[in-house]
Structure 1
Amino acid sequence: MCKDVCVIIPSYNNKEHLSKSLGSILRQKNIRQEVIITDDGSSGDTSEWLNHIAQRYDYIRIIEYNKSNIANARNLAIEKSNCKFIAFLDAGDTWYDNKLANQLQFMKTHPNCILTFTNYQNVDTHYQPIIDCFSYFSEFSKVCNFVNNEYITLNSPLNILLKNNIIGTSSVMVKREKLMKSGFDPSLKSASDWDCWLRLAMQGNFCFSHEITTDHLTPKNSNLKFQDKHLAALDEIITRIRAHPDVQPLTVKHAKASLNESRADHHRQLGHKFHALKHALQAVLLYPHKRNIKHFFHDIKQLMYI
């Protein structure tokens, strides 16, 4: 029997994080769900634990795939699901109670909406709060009129999302039929989720809620080699989307500023102070937002100690 929503979780040898994520799924109320875990060859305790979970809960399925990327894993799970709606939950992220039920109710009563998302809380490895997404991207909050925690339509989603990816993947619920048409691009080494949201924004309405429904686990130390691939993917996505007739010139400048901000942060982690300052300056010149200006003066201060 078809469930209300399919929850897709990519996995690879992360039993501890998976258990937290699955725990938050099991706490969801008033929802009929199926869970598909795409496992990229987990071994040892994780593999045994996944088999045990699948035997215990008949609505949890494990789909194995071999050394592919996360885009292919998500596409495979979407194809295997027969639910009308898809939700994503990355291993380590957790949902608040009733996240799915509230989101599903809105989407069922608003058929013109193809995707919903919510605010989310960034948390550290001890699950202590850092900052929520909408507060970090304060410029997004300024252009949107929030009405309590109700879902509202995101105006000009392509321009809003190209400026900054304010959509947390684990906060999303989307119509499966739309994902079947676009899906995630496996040619991208990173940021295939952002690319997917941008292409879906060309197909229909997005709605969002200011309510925080998700804790997003922020790794303490990110892989610097992976960051190079991530930055290259961001640049490629901006190049692809900027030619769309609905994209405004100011949006492209803002997107490039965000990219330079990310490059500056990457060089800060590497200890490349001059390169960090160069990209921070480019970000300020393209979009003089207070966050960019703050980082720029921080980089100047750091150079004074060389």
Structure 2
Amino acid sequence: MKTHASVLGKIVLSFVMVMVAMTIVSFIFAVVGVASGKNLDELGTSIGESLLVHYLQMILFIASSFAMYAFFERRKGWSFGLKQPHGAAFALHGAVGGIILISLSAVFIWACGGIAWQTAAWDQDMLVPMLKGAVLFVGVAISEEIYSRGYIQGLLRYHYGKTPAIVVSSILFALLHSMNPGVFSTPLPIANLFMAGVIMAVAREVTGGLWWPIGLHLTWNYFQGYIYGFNVSGTVSEYSLLSATDQGPAWISGGIFGIEGSVISVVVLILGTMAVNMLYRNRRKQLDETAVPSLRK
């Protein structure tokens, strides 16, 4: 019972530290906004859309993860997952996997009549926002993977083993997105977020590090929003090469939540998880054979 309380306390503390810091930052933004004459609606919009706030939140999640690991876990011997041999190669593999999976989801949704596509007229003004989007999603992928798969999954794996770590970290990953627009519009967005957590948790397990899931996380988000024109977990990208218009039921098209609101992407993620496990299971066996006792728990 003591162990359960300790693990839960660490997870809660890691999240609360970020939320307290973000609350302080939002309060400062609000004070500055009021002083400049903005009303409450304008303040809410400016804070929610501020890239500075988004990047600060990413930094805080990374800082929280490393601080919790340094203070409580470093001497216990379990791997955080960043110091991975051939990390760049695994990141590339994950990026290719993300492109394949999101492309399959998008094409199947289109083929089933869920959306119609129009090609956006290319404009040089699109280049800068699309580069900014790439930088943003690099930050999202790194920060969320370090927190969800590096710290939380690593902590749970050390205490309870692989399967509970995969399942619980994926549930928590889905709940981290509970404030996104439209996330509870149907059960499918949460199911998709859970399965996205599962495929990245399984990838972290079978490849032995964070770089494969970081690669997948990046391209899944970027191609979803800036290439195929869907909302990304309920948020709208500024520009995209294709413009997707819903023309079928939300359970196929994804509705306001985007691809991650479609039953098709749930199926694709399940099949993708099985494929990742099959492709890398021999590496997992090698890792198990060479693992130190503390990592076999």
Q: TM-score, normalised by structure 1?
A: 0.29
More strand by share: 1
Larger relative contact order, structure 1 or 2 (CA cutoff 8 Å, min sep 6) = 2
Alignment TM-score, normalising by the size of structure 2? 0.30
Greater share of helix: 2
